[in-house]
Structure 1
């Protein structure tokens, strides 16, 4: 087992190149996209009616729940469940635009898939009838202007490769939000802290020790922002009367530079109706990298308008206690997140106006709005 881990870490650089190639083009376009994003939203608003009708005709219910990313209000459909899209207006500008979007989607999916297929084959000599790896990628481009800061960008990517040679017991995860996953609540997207480091790339190997519909225990070993880390996590879910649900998720992590740390996430869900849910999240975190305990509370009302539209009203309070300043509240955030699927089944849009009351501005009201475009890329054949 130790030998396999060492081989994985030696060869992960090669796989990283394939993933980074797929993502780099999107990152190079970030500056241009941020300038055009506001104009894009005006165009989307004008064509929303037609896009919404198309999306409702092609959408089907989704029952799959991901164990890695549960923050999405609306999940994309798996590729197997999607009907084949047929185009009949050949040579038109609309057709050219559709072909360009489909070509981009196919190129990114193929690049990541080929890298995963090569990496999985490194551990076996059987070339015939090999099971194909499961590849899922998410790329998000966003602009979060707020008072006194109109240049805020929110660009994230995440790639997960499930390798069949290890009987679904090992994943490779590439992202730039490893730190965010420890600092944020599951439904929290607005970045309340300034970006300090530009190098936030993380690559990790995830070993799944136990997994079923309600419980999962896993360990991650990798590198994040140039710091080697290991993290162990256990997640359990309990529900009763089809109305109440509880999630308990303790985690222990160690970063070479920051030292030992731990986090506990608690979640309570109350299903008010088939389309409405109230949620309370509580997170507490400690680390040798800072003094005291950092905590965060989140209160949410989730509403699903249709299969392709949903909204989340949220109020988040964060702060610390037992630190250098004793008990203090760092920030209040009130937001409404509207998410919808339009134009393509793998493409999602979000509008999230918000108000912040940060401690560093003496709790003055800071309005802002987040505009995001999120694409999902998947391939397993």
Structure 2
């Protein structure tokens, strides 16, 4: 038996979501205006207003042998028209070198614990330039400077290649560099294959940290997607070897509001420090987007 759904009643039952969303959007917008006025160039007229966008993600990733793996992640960006839209302010609780589409349990602990907070000014010579430069604080409040170049190539109607490279200097960790490449193949309008590679050189430890993964992204409908992947991470010292690898299937659903997403991701993880014994887990996440750039 199917019970009738009252759309108006459903809308009212989640009115607190709209109130929370409006308050956060107002807060992000007000902060964007403050930054815009603080860094304003004198006598630069503009018809645009400062804007901001925030992304907040909360998750729990319990697995056998570790039930207390929680994930909190946020990223806030501000566009500053009084600086000719060439400068953004970026506030985040994680460093950009961390893979944004993998589970928190997969992040190498020696690497990720230092990357919990970052506040930076990003500058571009032109708004659409592939070159960007940052100065700020990150990794336990170290001062850093970073330059990055990104590019995208549409190889054929179905294949594409995206890559980026960067170099940076942290006040304590020293020099570092990274290179990332992503190959994409559109199997169909709703089915995408991706092969990602990321290499990161750490001057402090004189080694390379690397990540490889293969993903299949399938759009089930306008609100739902399924992402299946195999992920590997490792180091170059004492030799080039795998430290951990994982397989997972992520179900992602846009529900209740257009800015709200839910994810369920069963996974199996193998780690070197656990003798590569299989650890089974289930990630549960909620993610919200507030404001718009």
TM-score with structure 1 setting the length? 0.70
Structure 1: 5+ residue stretches without partners: 1-48, 55-87
> For 1:4-62, what per-residue CA distance to the aligned partner results, in whole angstroms no more than 9, with x for missing partners?
xxxxxxxxxxxxxxxxxxxxxxxxxxxxxxxxxxxxxxxxxxxxx979xx8xxxxxxxx
Correspondence 1:1-381 to 2 at 5 A? 95=12, 97-122=13-38, 123=40, 130-178=47-95, 181-184=96-99, 187-192=101-106, 193-194=108-109, 197=113, 200-212=116-128, 216-224=130-138, 225-321=140-236, 323=237, 325-378=238-291
Residue 71 of structure 2 aligns to a residue whose secondary structure is coil
Q: Structure 2 CA distance, aligned partners of 1:189 and 1:157?
A: 15
Say if 1:268 and 1:94 are closer, same or farther in 2 by CA, change over 3 A.
closer
Q: Structure 2 CA distance, aligned partners of 1:352 and 1:143?
A: 10
Q: Structure 2 CA distance, aligned partners of 1:119 and 1:249?
A: 28
1:374: Cα distance to partner?
A: 0.4
Say if 1:197 and 1:131 are closer, same or farther in 2 by CA, change over 3 A.
same
1:126: Cα distance to partner?
A: 7.2
| Alignment: residue pair count | 286
1:313: Cα distance to partner?
A: 0.6
Q: Structure 2 CA distance, aligned partners of 1:138 and 1:293?
A: 30
User: Counterpart of 1:82?
Assistant: none
Residue pair 1:147, 1:366 contacting (<8 A) in 2 also: yes
Residue pair 2:234, 2:243 contacting (<8 A) in 1 also: yes
Q: Which moved more, 1:289-298 or 1:232-241?
A: 289-298
1:167: Cα distance to partner?
A: 2.0
Residue pair 1:113, 1:379 contacting (<8 A) in 2 also: no
1:197: Cα distance to partner?
A: 4.5
Say if 1:126 and 1:111 are closer, same or farther in 2 by CA, change over 3 A.
farther
1:166: Cα distance to partner?
A: 1.7
1:106: Cα distance to partner?
A: 0.9
1:140: Cα distance to partner?
A: 0.7
The answer to which structure has the higher strand fraction is: 2
> For 1:148-176, what per-residue CA distance to the aligned partner results, in whole angstroms no more than 9, with x for missing partners?
11111111111000111122211001110
Residue pair 2:46, 2:82 contacting (<8 A) in 1 also: no
Say if 1:317 and 1:50 are closer, same or farther in 2 by CA, change over 3 A.
farther
Residue pair 1:110, 1:379 contacting (<8 A) in 2 also: no
User: Counterpart of 1:36?
Assistant: none
Say if 1:328 and 1:128 are closer, same or farther in 2 by CA, change over 3 A.
closer
User: Counterpart of 1:68?
Assistant: none
1:120: Cα distance to partner?
A: 1.1
Q: Structure 2 CA distance, aligned partners of 1:248 and 1:339?
A: 26
Structure 2: 5+ residue stretches without partners: none
1:353: Cα distance to partner?
A: 0.8
1:135: Cα distance to partner?
A: 1.1
> For 1:306-343, what per-residue CA distance to the aligned partner results, in whole angstroms no more than 9, with x for missing partners?
1111111110111122x2x2222101111111111001
1:198: Cα distance to partner?
A: 8.8
Q: Which moved more, 1:167-176 or 1:112-121?
A: 112-121
Residue pair 2:54, 2:75 contacting (<8 A) in 1 also: yes
Residue pair 1:147, 1:368 contacting (<8 A) in 2 also: yes
